[in-house]
Structure 1
Amino acid sequence: MTTDTVHETEHLIVVDAPAERVYALIEDVGTWPEVFPPTVHAECLERDGDTELIRIWATANGVAKTWTSRRRHDPGRLSVSFRQERSQHPVGGMGGAWVIEPITDARCRVRLLHDFFPASDEPADLEWIKQAVDRNSASELQALKSSAEPAEPGQCFTFADTVTVEGSAEDVYDFLNNAQLWPQRLPHVARVSLDEDSPGLQVLEMDTRTKDGSVHTTRSVRVCEPHRSIVYKQTVTPALMTLHTGRWLIEPQGAGQVAVTSRHTVRINTARITELLGPEADLATAQQLVRNALSANSLTTLRAAKAYAEGGGGRHPVP
């Protein structure tokens, strides 16, 4: 039984950036994993003028969820309205709007509006939704402010590593998808906990060994598209990063070859550079250290996936 009572909330923040810059960040869902902490992956499924259908994979109260929403853009009023087309329990239905109100040429107010109702009359369902909306709204608005306001150049950067595999995309994907086997397959992985309550939506917790022998724990949500890609976002990052998103991309090259790429987007935690790396360290030092560490682990994984696929792997035929 669903309730007929619709609940409404409003959250707001003042951003020291032009309203048009803020609107652009909200308008382009492709950048949301880099802007909003709860968003793991987002893509536009279809667009017709100012109306689009998007799919979002995100966390709510620590739980990985996915849903589709219909959005309507109004560039003249600097607003984007949204309505979930298929909500996930305990949400019965949800919609709302982003509204950007210029204060000056370099400052604006952002209002995030929600209306929703639970999937049942259970009080616990309503409370869960309220907590998720409050937590995510506050997190998203603060993240939007941080992304829109001027930042130190180079704080956020992207890089990639690629190997060519003489094997099948299916075998490469099997290796990357079955991360629960990584402690036996990868020397830098000490422990893995992998949950997949919904097909293709994984929560991966992993202990990784560093060169000095220490171990750090990361937690990621992964969106898996069989034989093509795995997109992920770390929800628990090492101390030197405030953002780490990535993608394993598998691209057939013809003649029985596939190119496998590991792409990373990272934002450095500039407030902790000297604390973690010493008084002489700067942003460039942190960038190089992070890139070297992530590339080393990625290349180890890529080469192991290559060896697995070229050695027969799961015995998928090479086209």
Structure 2
Amino acid sequence: MSEQHRTLHSTTVAAPAEAVYAIIADVTKWPQYFAPNVHVEHLERTERSERIQIWATANGEVKTWISRRELDPVGQKVTFRQEVSQAPVASMGGTWLVTAVDESHTLLELYHDFTAVDDLPENVAWINAALDRNSEAELTGIRELAELGAELDELVFTFDDTVHVAGDGADVFDFLNRADLWPERLPHVAALDLQEETPGIQVMAMDTSTADGSVHTTKSIRVVFGDDRIVYKQIAVPALMTAHTGRWTIVPVDGGVDVTSRHTVTLKPSAVEKILGEGKTVADARAYVHKALSTNSTTTLKHALAFAEARRG
């Protein structure tokens, strides 16, 4: 029988236990909140139980697995167990435990138990290192989010850009999926490196030119679903942000398809005046980031439209 290993990571949060539990319970927001998490997809869901697939980075690699979570809002506890693990993990599960210290302070504990493929010491070491890195990142993220309180609602915002394409969805998908060709196809993309070692998981580094002539480098992980949806997370973001996730969706309609680019951004309040100037506010930063991202995504959408309609024509 494989040896079972156990770990515990914990932190104290200057926020009520209910606020901490709410962050843990809503797994759909984890890619926006926690650096290692790229995307979460619900496969099954009830009021107290959910089956999810998670894509996340571990020791610099992109991993995906399927887990079942049981939610206990009364006991303020969430238990999880991986149904399908990815090497070098043979099995893994654990518990999030939220304990009120007083009305405004909470002890948050994260327990893991795991077995490693073939019980190899190097696999155990790899898993422990990944758990240390990701658990600390998640605990820090939860603490910072919970302590922001109502301010979080102002820092996180979502918006869409949509175009109707009188063309085939397959051609639009080809344009969006073949991001390695964007430097040839899109005027604002100066350079792009795309790696796809695992089909459907793309790691992309892109240099984007702005109207003032400056170039911004971003790095993203993209997960490709079929031929109608691509989701992504930027793992290297501009200075005004702490997180940026998004998705491209292609929806059939009469005469063609509607193509939508969605962005969800978390702003970094400490960077607002440094980047935009003295006296600038979070509201100014929202407008600035919205305009910049919308300009680029709309440009991409218009070129995808022209590409798909030319092919149909």
TM-score range, shorter chain: over 0.9
Q: Which residue of 2 aligns with 1:37?
A: 35
C-alpha displacement of 1:151: 5.1
What does residue range 249-264 of structure 1 map to in structure 2 within 5 Å? 249-253=249-253, 255-264=254-263
Rounded to whole Å, the distance in 2 between the matches of 1:78 and 1:44 is: 21
Could you say which residue in structure 2 is the equivalent of 1:245?
245
1:59-78 to 2 correspondences below 5 Å? 59-78=57-76
Give the letter aligned to residue 251 of structure 2: E
Q: How far, CA to CA, are the matches of 2:53 and 2:33 in structure 1?
A: 16
What amino acid sits opposite 1:135 in the alignment?
Answer: R
CA shift for structure 1 position 31: 1.4
SS of 1:120's equivalent in the other structure is helix
Structure 2 contact 85–91 (Cα < 8 Å) conserved: yes
Amino acid at match of 2:161: D
> How far apart in 2 are the matches of 1:294 and 1:155?
16
Structure 1 residue matching 2:118: 3-state secondary structure: coil
In the alignment, which residue of structure 1 is the partner of 2:223?
223
Higher helix content, 1 or 2: 2
Q: In the alignment, is the contact (CA less than 8 A) between 1:173 and 1:226 conserved in 2?
A: no
Distance in 2 between residues matched to 1:151 and 1:128, nearest whole Å: 38
SS for the counterpart of 1:89 is: coil
Tell me the equivalent position of 2:292. Answer: 293
Unpaired stretches in structure 2, ≥5 consecutive residues = none
The equivalent residue for 2:305 is: 306
Taking the aligned partners of 1:19 and 1:68, their CA distance within structure 2 comes to 27
Provide the rounded CA distance (Å) in 1 between the counterparts of 2:57 and 2:16: 29
- Cα deviation 1:114-171 (Å, max 9, x = unaligned): 1112113433222111111000000001111122222535211111111011111111
Structure 2 CA distance for aligned equivalents of residues 66 and 263 of structure 1: 23
User: 2:33, 2:243 within 8 Å by CA — same for their partners in 1?
Assistant: no
Unaligned runs of 5+ in 1: none
Hey, which bits of structure 1, 4+ residues long, moved more than 4 A? none
Q: Percent identity?
A: 51
> Which residue in the other structure is 1:275 paired with?
274
Q: Distance in 2 between matches of 1:46 and 1:112?
A: 24
Query: Counterpart of 1:92?
Result: 90
CA distance in 2, matches of 1:298, 1:173: 15
Distance, in Å, in 2 between the alignment partners of 1:46 and 1:155 is 30
CA distance in 1, matches of 2:34, 2:279: 31
Give the total of aligned pairs. Answer: 311
CA distance in 2, matches of 1:94, 1:293: 41
Say which is worse superposed, 175-184 or 226-235, in terms of deviation. Answer: 226-235
How far residue 109 of structure 1 moved from its aligned partner, in angstroms, is 1.1
Structure 2 residue aligned with 1:183:
183
What residue number does 1:118 align with? 116
Between stretches 49-58 and 72-81, larger displacement belongs to 49-58
Residues 282 and 66 (structure 1), Cα distance of their counterparts in 2 relative to 1, 3 Å cut: same
Q: Distance in 1 between matches of 2:216 and 2:82?
A: 37
Aligned to 2:129: 131
Distance in 2 (alpha carbons) for counterparts of 1:194 and 1:280: 39
Structure 2: distance between partners of 1:47 and 1:276: 42
